[in-house]
Structure 1
Amino acid sequence: MSDRSPFPDRRHGDPPWDVPSWSDPVVARATGALGGPLGRFAVVGGAGLAGVAAALVALGTIALSLGVWRSGHCLMKGWNTPDQFWRACYSDLPVVHVSSPLAERALPWVGEGAATGTAPLAGAVMWLLARVSPAAGDGVAAQQWIFTLWALVCVPLVAVAVLALVSLSPGAPWRAAHLAASPVLVLLAHVSTDLLGVTLMVLGLWAWRRDRPWVCGLLLGAALLVRPFPLLLLAAILLVGVRRGQTLPALQALVGTVLGALVVLLPLVTLQPESLSAAQLWWGQPAGYGALQMIPRLLGSTVPTWVTTAVAVTGWVVALVVGFRASRRPELDVEQVTALMLLVVALTAASVSVQSGLWVLPFLATAAIRWAEHLLWALAEGLVFLTTWLHIAFASDPGRGLPGDAYALTVVLRAAAWAWILWRVGTRPAPQVVAQRPMPTSTPARTVSPS
């Protein structure tokens, strides 16, 4: 289908930005519940970018509300094993809270049930939630409060990410719906604190686009303390920046990243040096859920942990090589180079948890991806989301759970979906940032010649 609007505004010329219900058949059909596609004589852009942003924030809030509704059983009954897996409502926050020192409002890395694999910023956020929660201890009330507080925090996180994405693409602001209205957001936003890292990464990209490399680095430094994926964006900034003669800003972003990480790490390490335990475990952990490296174990074979670690490290090295080669193509920008590197890292990682899909959404939102492509990828994400819990519950009830060979098939399908969608993003030329055209007026001014 042509990118040109099938319903041109006959009164006011071309609209100031792309209208999804005119150019994307999936969106056109989906808008049936809202009265159908925008009409041919509608005034597009009358409310400006602020109107688009407000609509997208509302969509994001609805998606988050559906995520809370999806977790309703656990929210009412508590996060109990294996019930939380049968109901597909597992969440790190309430589970880690009641099983670690967080239940006593202490930092989570030392003590009975210490959450040694928790990332530094994720643990700090869960500790802050525990401090403000009215309920302490390991009861259902404490779980309910922690989950509810995180659900409330998710709303401004999505709003800020949406505003940044709209600002990044003023000529196509509705692309931010790939984050705000994604089914993946419904499934994954409340599973862990990854949404915080995703928002920080989006803000870091926004700061880089606004020629604020120090701010970009500080934000990326904090984001990588949730998950290491932002390091790929930093690498892309360095590679593309050097190619475009922006070596100094790229180095400033690098130094800012170190400083941003230290701002968070130094207080935590001073209080609890064990807050670095997640990085220490990364080097010696066996293959985990969602990773292609886990397939031999699912099929009954044993792979030494050093092999798993070596493959993961090799994947990062290969990703940097891929990023270097991609950065030499002038039509590819920071987002495209990052997507290609993320593809390699995901296929070779020791673990690709269910919530990792959140980190793909910003790259879909900055690319000219069709919703049909997005939904195909989201289908694979949803399949692994459900089968991961069923496979974990297999140990409790093999008659109801999913055996390893069946789970291995879904992992392969998901890896193929990641490879396909990230390749689509990474090899597609960077969309041109089109300046917003002036808003149309209702009636053109009439010139009166003097008599």
Structure 2
Amino acid sequence: MSPARGDWVDPTSDDPVVGALSEGVGGPAGPRAARHPWWTPVRVVLAMTAVVMALGMWQKTNCYDDTWQDGNARYTHMCYSDLPYLYTGRGFAELSWPYSDDAQTRARYEVMEYPVGIAYWAYGAAWVTHWLNGSPDIEPRYSQSVGDLSGTAPVLREMRIFVIVNALGFAALTLLAAWLLAGVNRRRPWDAAAFALSPALLLTGLVNWDLVAVVFVAGALWAWRREKPLLTGVLIGLGTAAKLYPLFLLGGILVICLRQRRMRELGLATLGAAAAWVLANAPAYLSGPAEWKVFWTFNSDRGADLGSVWLVVQQAMERTGDPFAFEPHTINVGSWLFFGAWCIGVLVLGLTSPSTPRLAQLGFLVVAGFLVVNKVYSPQYVLWLLPLAVLARPRWRDLIIWQAGEVLYFAAVWWYLGGFLAPASGGDSGFYWAAILIRVACELWLVAMVVRDIWRPRHDPVRAAEWEPQLRTTRSNAVAV
């Protein structure tokens, strides 16, 4: 049952930042404030989401106009996207099945290096693209080199259509995610506004296909809140088929179920996740086992990459004249050891805290630990944390601090790749290293706030109302004594 209109937590009185901003339009809402008959909080959140996604598409306009062919503009205007390049680079211009083991296809194109959920989405978008372009005959394309093919007028047109198809699909997914997040805490639908108005969503939503996984994370949070463990597991499994990180939500469910002795729910969630993941992966694995394995080997074999703390350390040591370089195996072992220790810390925190933490809090902490020490930390990976963060710590001050670090890094990485941050004396850019470290520091600030909320639930905005009666009783007893 949805709460009555008067039962919604009003953000202007609940959040100091929103309350301060509301002074420009009359101040916080009072007890006699009228409710609009149509513009409910959820509808406002959806409208915000639509506007931000539209602005995100507009932000890519400069690159779209020249079909991402200007290698300099994609960095100066910060409008880079993987989508148009992978349309031709992975065979979608010829409607090649991502997991085909056809010798000619594999000789022309690299295997799609993403999990199956993203590969399916991209393949489906390619089919829609060809249909919208009049279903051109692709047979003559086989005789052209991939380089020549990507420069032809029909394929350039398809690249633009492909981006549009994906962008509209992402917009639909994001609207669904916003609706789900607004329904997780029924008395706090406005918490989803931090998701809808996120600058990170605007800037990074079209960089890659990460939003495919985001909607499953939002759905899992919604389903768990409604005590649907099997559905929660299914959504986690489908999300894991698109990106690995939704799997970590099972760690949060483990903590909750151990505390509350809900082993049946844990089993249902785990079973649902495993079954959904296997069924989602089956078509890819059965059609091309070797191609299906590429995602796993690709990530295992890659070295320190953009955004990673490992890259900062490696480049700093090289700059001092030390030829030392982290081997992929060293990074893999170090990352997993750190992540394992981090997960043990989250487990201990969750089991010893005064009250059972919320799934969004635990999920945020686990995913944040994974990203901090990951060998690559692409700018769009902020989307992994976004739905978890806005529910884990629904306070605009802390979310703004975190997002400020993400926006700084978003600008720095493109300027770095464009060569605009290179020092005159040569070598790697110290400013880029600083941007990486500031980004991580801002993320750790939000981690610290969430940890405090778990350890001291009276600081948690979602739990505050539950603790207030106890605090009043404590004060009364103190006065009586």
Normalising by structure 1, report the TM-score. 0.86
User: 1-side partners of 2:201 and 2:433: how far apart?
Assistant: 24
Matched, 1:86 2:76: yes
Q: Is the 8 A contact 1:291 1:352 kept in 2?
A: yes
Match of 1:306 among 326, 329, 335: 329
| 1:327 correspondence with 2:317 | no
Residue 124 (structure 2) pairs with residue 128 (structure 1): yes
CA gap of 1:70–1:46, structure 2 versus 1, over 3 A, is closer
Q: 1:26 to 1:392 in 2, by over 3 A?
A: same
Shift of 1:71: 0.5
- Equivalent positions of 1:276-315 (< 5 A) are 276-299=293-316, 300=318, 301-315=324-338
CA distance in 2: counterparts of 1:392 and 1:119, whole angstroms? 26
CA distance in structure 2 between the partners assigned to 1:52 and 1:161 by the alignment? 15
Q: Distance in 1 between the 2:421 and 2:339 partners?
A: 36
> What stretches of structure 2 of length at least 5 have no aligned partner?
101-105, 137-148, 319-323, 467-481
Q: How does 1:15-414 map to 2 (within 5 A)?
A: 15-28=6-19, 30=21, 35-37=25-27, 39-40=29-30, 43=33, 45=35, 47=37, 51-80=40-69, 81-108=71-98, 111=106, 112-133=108-129, 134-135=132-133, 138=150, 139-273=155-289, 274-299=291-316, 300=318, 301-328=324-351, 329-331=353-355, 332-394=357-419, 403-414=428-439
Alpha-carbon distance, 1:361 to partner: 1.5
Distance in 1 (alpha carbons) for counterparts of 2:21 and 2:405: 20
Cα deviation for residue 292 of structure 1 reads: 0.8
Report how far residue 236 of structure 1 moved: 1.1
Q: How big is the alpha-carbon RMSD for the aligned residues of Structure 1 and Structure 2?
A: 2.7
- Contact kept? 2:421, 2:432, Cα under 8 Å: no
**1:367/1:257 CA distance change after superposition, 3 Å:** same
1:423 Cα deviation from its structure 2 partner: 2.4
Aligned residue type for 1:185: L
Matched letter for residue 327 of structure 2: P
Larger mean CA deviation between 16-25 and 84-93 belongs to 16-25
Residues 251 and 390 from structure 1, CA distance in 2 versus in 1: closer, same or farther, beyond 3 angstroms? same
Task: State the secondary structure of the residue aligned to 2:375.
Answer: coil
How many Å separate the matches in 1 of 2:283 and 2:427? 43
Q: CA deviation at 1:42?
A: 5.0
Q: Give the conservation status (yes or no) of the 8 Å contact 1:323–1:341.
A: yes
Give yes or no for contact 1:84–1:90 (8 Å, CA) kept in 2.
yes
CA contact (8 A) 2:201 2:383 kept: yes
Match of 1:449 in 2: none
C-alpha spacing 1:199/1:434, structure 2 compared with 1 (3 Å)? farther
Structure 1 contact 22–37 (Cα < 8 Å) conserved: no
Aligned mates of 2:447, 2:422 — CA distance in 1: 36
Cα deviations across residues 84-108 of structure 1 (Å, max 9, x unaligned)?
Answer: 1222111121221122211211233
Matched residues in 2 for 1:342 and 1:28: separation? 30
CA distance in 2, matches of 1:27, 1:314: 40
Q: Structure 2 counterpart of 1:194, which letter?
A: D
1:56 corresponds to which letter in structure 2?
V
| CA shift for structure 1 position 53 | 0.7
Looking at secondary structure, tell me which structure has more helix per residue: 2
Instruction: Give me the whole-angstrom Cα distance separating, in 2, the residues matched to 1:113 and 1:394.
Output: 29
Pairs aligned (count) = 419
Q: Tell me: CA distance 1:326–1:124, structure 2 relative to 1, closer, same or farther (3 Å).
A: same
Structure 1 residue ranges without an equivalent (≥5): 1-13, 436-451
1:353 CA displacement: 1.1
**Partners in 1 of 2:338 and 2:86 — Cα distance?**
30
- Contact residue 90 and residue 112 of structure 2 kept, 8 A: no
Shift of the 242–22 alpha-carbon distance from structure 1 to 2, 3 Å rule, reads closer
Cα offset for 1:298? 2.7
Deviation at 1:216, TM superposition (A): 1.0
For 2:446 and 2:57, the matched residues in 1 are separated by 27
TM-score by length of 2: 0.81
Is the contact between residue 201 and residue 220 of structure 1 (CA under 8 Å) also seen in structure 2? yes
Amino acid corresponding to residue 85 of structure 1 in structure 2 = Y
Residue 291 (structure 1) shift: 1.3
1:207/1:302 Cα in 2 relative to 1: closer, same or farther (>3 Å)? same
Report the 3-state secondary structure (helix = DSSP H, G, I; strand = E; otherwise coil) of the residue aligned with 2:271: helix
Which segment is superposed worse, 387-396 or 122-131? Answer: 387-396
Amino acid of the residue matched to residue 70 of structure 1? Q
Q: Which amino acid aligns with 2:80?
A: Y
Distance 1:149 1:101 in 2: 17
CA contact (8 A) 1:218 1:259 kept: yes
Cα displacement (A) at 1:416: 0.7
- Per-residue deviation, 1:47: 4.2
Q: Is the 8 A contact 1:326 1:337 kept in 2?
A: no
